[in-house]
Amino acid sequence: MSTTTAPPPGASQEDLARLEAHWGERASLRSWFGTVDHKRIGRRYLVTASLFFVLAGISALAMRTQLARPESSLLSPEEYNQLFTMHGTAMIFLFATPMLFGFGNFLVPLMIGSRDMAFPKLNALGYWVFLFAGLFMWASLPFGAAPNGGWFAYVPLTDDRNTPGLHMDVYTLGLLFLGIATTAGSINFIVTALKLRAPGMSLNRVPLFVWAIVATAFMVIFALPALNLDNAMLFLDRRFGTHFFDPEAAGNVLLWQHLFWIFGHPDVYIIVMPALGIVSAVLPAFTRRGVVGYVLIVLAIVSIAIISFGVWVHHMFATGLPHLSYSFFSAASTIITIPSGIQIFAWLATMLLGRLVVRVPLLFLIGFIVTFVLGGFTGAMFALTAFDQQVTDSYFVVAHFHYVLIGGAVFPILAGIYYWLPKMTGRMYHEGLGKWAFWLFFTGMQVAFFPMHLSGLFGMPRRVYTYRDEPGWDVWNLVSTIGAYILAVGLLLVLIGVVHAIRRGRPAPPDPWGGDTLEWSTDSPPRPYNFPVLPQVHSLHPTWDQPSRSSMAEDATADRILADGRRTLFTSELDGRRERVVEMPEASVQPLLLALAMLVFFTAMLFAWYPFAAAAAVAVAVTIAVWLWPPRRPEEELGVVR
Amino acid sequence: MSNRSLAAATSTEALTTELPAGRSTGWWGMVMFVTTEATLFACLLGSYFYLRFQHGGEWPPGGIEQPKLLRPLVMTAVLLPSSLPMIWAERGIRRGDRRRLRYGLATTLLLGSAFLALQATEYAELFHEFTLTTNAYGSLFFVITGFHGLHVLIGLTMLSWLLAAALRGGSFGAHRHDRVRNAAIYWHFVDAVWAAILFTIYLSPRL
């Protein structure tokens, strides 16, 4: 037993040995491909999403280099179109959401005191599908066939007449493929949070991060179908000659925009909400108190999730819709700032009332507040239709959403990486290196994106591959490019910091920060079964309160150790009362096979090899049928009368 | 009785292995899946109305006739009641009655297949008049009904799979019938969606 392992007084050595036998995974190729451990899957999500982040980031650097001076010819217009489309698409779909789902996968079962997700095999499927969909989309870039119509792919630009070739088929099919992973992951989060919470964890004791993930998952359930339908229709229009978006045959191009933004605006919150959850999770450890206004924040999370479905038209203020609808959506867009404001003030109050411990995660939180609030300011400006129409499709918009998304998602994600690195790897990071990374990243971010407000106000449109030597544009573009490189150096230091921690970091204790949630009651990294004794939760801050802590130690009971199999507990949805003990599934390669069959299906659809696609669809059905086939049981156990 | 054996006899496990308590994760998972699918159909039918009202003028456009009612009403009369044998089968297996499960599943399978056969004859007839590529109405008509038809086909596959497992024996009983219940939820959903499609595609142009 290593020195980092806390002595578990609750469970006996035999119990621990049996738990290890049921949950442990021996290192083998089969276990690598078949694992259903939420911690391994969560880490894979994080690593894979980071890889796509690096690819999308290199695309951005290439574009910034091209724009550093006027009339540059480093990139051709065709290359530039593919790079900005892949940059946006990958950052939104292949980095932000999967990265946060990675945190969710690793943390939700730990935070709620469970031994795995509700559907471990579905979880593994989600990861494989995400990986394959990401590779499917990126693989098109070296062939010059990557999506090139912008991340929101407006028709008629993207129809088969204006964008022939595979470009937009890669986009529609890739996102449909990825949608399977996102939907499966969301359903898994919801059900896990409803049924697998430790006994005693009633809804008012659920950590804010879990609330945020569940609200996000609900938004996915209701928002993603709109995007899926949109992409399916575009694919049918392009490939099979339907006329959904064709005004000459009773179709309508604005249908694309409506469906896209019915998904797209909730998606902003799908990205930002779990990141705000990270903020609420990290803050208590560095202010030495609980977050102020727990109930208010929960209400804010829920109301944002609902109102976000009523603001989509503010992306379409320049399309000539009736003015009455502008007023409605303008009002809704203004209202949604209220719950967002509540959260910001709750965090500020927490910092004011607490005792600050200035470590790297806290620095990133402060960077988050500054940057996100600046993005919020310009967001409130867009809610005014007249202003929106002035700056739409200019660099002002580019500046705004980078402030919102880097501020609202990347800063919290980086805070989360430093905060949970000890838990995930069992190693501490280097504080000095982390501080350098923060300051470079923060400075680079401001230097890169603040001037874009100005170049936008000076009239520079977004998505141009180059520009003339106009007065006022060249200086700010050069400054932006310099900022982008500083930002990249900051991110490189983050990467070096992580690698350094894994290879050379000193071993992390189970609870290096004095955190309040249950993951800090496990080893660093946690054992495969997470908790030797499942906790009995007595408060919102179980690791800070004595009864909850001792429920895992001297007050352990056999019905919370459950060492006779791969077992965990179901509890009731609202009150977290015990319901029953359940057997969890073992490792299996079925998820990988299913994802591979789907990959074959989507690839065959892309190249119009329809017989292959049909065969792959049959393979999908057969794999699912085998996966879910009921095991044979004796009749007494089943309860058969006749 | 020692303290330890008392604890064992009154543990969660001992008290709950007899009959499942509370909703299962499978139930919640299926309900969430059906919710997101229902949203998809809502978007699809919303697109129908959006295109129709944005188009203005004649609907269906391009000289396509109003959809005929007789066959879709027969299809409705076949599909909607197909939920009843499913409910009967599910209630049966909840009491451990495997015979009811088998007969109920077989009846639902027959009704669902009859629905698909009727839909195929409808398509064969309509293809003379318009297709997927005629105009946006044709695209909407065939994509909406075809997508629903695909759902019926998936539902039928699930039911056949259940029936195969039920015929093998050793699969379902009073204590183990989560899969039956989940497939039933899906089937009822496919039925309910048809009612919305009947209204949208076949009835609403006549209003």
pLDDT tens sequence across B24-42: 999 999 999 999 999 999 9
Average of per-residue pLDDT across A149-174: 95
Q: Dihedral of CA A220/A226/A228/A231: which sign?
A: negative
Residue A122: closest C-alpha in chain B: B29
Output the average pLDDT for chain A. Answer: 94
AA letter at A234: L
Residue A193: closest C-alpha in chain B: B25
pLDDT exceeds cutoff 50 at A2 = no
Q: What pLDDT score does B12 carry?
A: 53
Fold of A40-506: Cytochrome C Oxidase; Chain A (1.20.210)
Average of per-residue pLDDT across A73-80: 95
Q: Does ipTM exceed 0.85?
A: yes
Whether the CB of B66 is below 8 Å from some CB of chain A: the reply is no
Give the C-alpha separation, B74 to A626, whole Å: 35
pLDDT band at A1 (very low <50, low <70, confident <90, very high): very low
pLDDT band at A329 (very low <50, low <70, confident <90, very high): confident
- The H or E element spanning position A581 is strand A578-583
pLDDT exceeds cutoff 50 at B148 = yes
Query: Measured between alpha carbons, how far is residue A601 from residues A174, A536, A607, A619, B152 in Å?
Result: 11, 46, 10, 9, 21
Of A196, A572, A640, the CB nearest to B173: A640
CB B54 within 8 A of CB A262: no
Average of per-residue pLDDT across A260-278: 94
Output the average pLDDT for chain B. Answer: 91
Chain B residues with CB-CB distance to A628 below 8 A = 161, 179
Q: What pLDDT score does B9 carry?
A: 55
Q: What pLDDT score does A311 carry?
A: 85
Interchain contact, B179 vs A637, CB within 8 Å: no
Q: What pLDDT score does B11 carry?
A: 55
CB A417 within 8 A of CB A411: no
Chain B residues with CB-CB distance to A193 below 8 A = none
Q: What pLDDT score does A159 carry?
A: 94
Average of per-residue pLDDT across A102-127: 97
Q: What pLDDT score does A49 carry?
A: 98
Q: What pLDDT score does A5 carry?
A: 47
Give the C-alpha separation, B160 to A476, whole Å: 65
Which residues are CB-neighbours of A584 under 8 A, at least 6 positions away?
A115, A116, A120, A566, A567, A568
Interchain contact, A630 vs B165, CB within 8 Å: yes
pLDDT exceeds cutoff 60 at A173 = yes
Provide the CA A521 distance to its chain's centre, in angstroms. Answer: 25
Of B8, B39, B61, the CB nearest to A250: B61
Interchain contact, B25 vs A195, CB within 8 Å: yes
Q: What percent of chain B has pLDDT over 70?
A: 90
Give the C-alpha separation, A577 to A456, whole Å: 56
What tokens were used for A512?
A: 């290096």
pLDDT exceeds cutoff 80 at A3 = no
pLDDT exceeds cutoff 80 at A74 = yes
CA–CA min distance A249, chain B (Å): 5
Average of per-residue pLDDT across B114-126: 97
Of B22, B47, B132, the CB nearest to A570: B22
Please give the interface size between A and B, counted as residue pairs whose CB atoms are below 8 Å apart.
Answer: 189
pLDDT exceeds cutoff 50 at B133 = yes
Strands A567-571 and A578-583: antiparallel
Residue A239: closest C-alpha in chain B: B133
pTM: 0.95
Question: Which domains, ranges and CATH numbers included, belong to chain B?
Answer: 35-206 (1.20.120.80)
